[in-house]
Amino acid sequence: MMNVCLHCGEYRADKRIDPDGPNAVCPLCGHRHPFRQLPLLVVSGASGAGKSAVLQRLAGRVDGAVLLDADILWRSEFNGPAEGYRGFFETWLRLCKNISQSGRPVVLFGAGVGVPANLEACVERRYLADVHILALVCDDEVLAERLLSRPEWRRSGDAGFVAEQIRFNQWFRDRGSGTEPAIEVLDTTGTATEETAGRVAAWIASRAER
């Protein structure tokens, strides 16, 4: 409940951040709320790039961070493309902010959270320190094969969906390094899941304290 001012009781997500504390300063009464401003780590990539497989390997095996799948909060109410799915991203950043108060940063696995503009525009972004993004990518043929081999209930074999994910995969390859923050890229083509998971774990360890 960090958005509720402990002095005046008003709910304000748009508090001013004083980095000297850091403190979240209520815009109404000026109350200064000390908090932990930890980094946010994101493991992203197109559907089929290997995010879920890596998360399954790393869950319970990474100390010093909380690993979460962004899809666990998805609801039909968040399906607002006209607003850039803003409610979904604000909700996740608010949750990550509150989890960070336990002293451990969050590693969020998801596709859309790996697009910097989706997070940087959010009001809740101010409560987190640097955002570090690692995108898993692979060859287009491999990506298509992975999507087509999924169970039918996942509806990943539709030609339009496959084409969309290939374009997203290429976006990470072509434009990731030019974004702010920059996106680091890890190619999973021809790499066993266990090896990829090890590399992701090493990346998490190197970024969690920044």
Could you read off the pLDDT of 44-88 as tens digits, one per residue? 999 999 999 999 999 999 989 999 999 999 999 999 988 999 999
Do both 69 and 100 map to the same domain? yes
The total of structural domains in the chain comes to 2
Confidence at residue 96, expressed as pLDDT on a 0 to 100 scale: 98
Task: Give this prediction's pTM.
Answer: 0.94
Q: pLDDT category, 150, cuts 50, 70, 90?
A: confident
Q: What is the pLDDT of residues 27-45, one digit of tens each?
A: 999 999 999 999 999 999 9
**Dihedrals phi, psi of 115, to nearest 5 degrees:** -95, 110
Do both 11 and 40 map to the same domain? no
Confidence at residue 180, expressed as pLDDT on a 0 to 100 scale: 86
Confidence at residue 177, expressed as pLDDT on a 0 to 100 scale: 67
Do both 147 and 91 map to the same domain? yes
What mean pLDDT is predicted for residues 113-119?
A: 95
At residue 14's C-alpha, the angle toward residues 11 and 20, to 5°, is 110
What mean pLDDT is predicted for residues 12-27?
A: 97
Which long-range contacts (C-beta less than 8 Å, at least 24 apart) are formed by 143-148?
143/46, 143/48, 143/49, 143/169, 144/48, 146/48, 147/47, 147/48
Do both 91 and 154 map to the same domain? yes
Do both 56 and 27 map to the same domain? no
Residue 26 CA to residue 42 CA, distance in Å, equals 29
What mean pLDDT is predicted for residues 150-173?
A: 90
Q: Is 201:62 a contact under the CB 8 Å cutoff?
A: yes
What mean pLDDT is predicted for residues 132-136?
A: 97
What mean pLDDT is predicted for residues 156-178?
A: 89
What mean pLDDT is predicted for residues 155-163?
A: 88
pLDDT at 210 over 60: no
To which H or E segment does residue 16 belong?
A: strand 16-18
- Domain encompassing residue 13: 1-35
Do both 48 and 7 map to the same domain? no
Considering only CA atoms, which of 107, 120, 169, 180 is closest in space to residue 141?
169
The enclosing domain of 130 has a CATH number of 3.40.50.300
Residue 113 DSSP SS3: helix
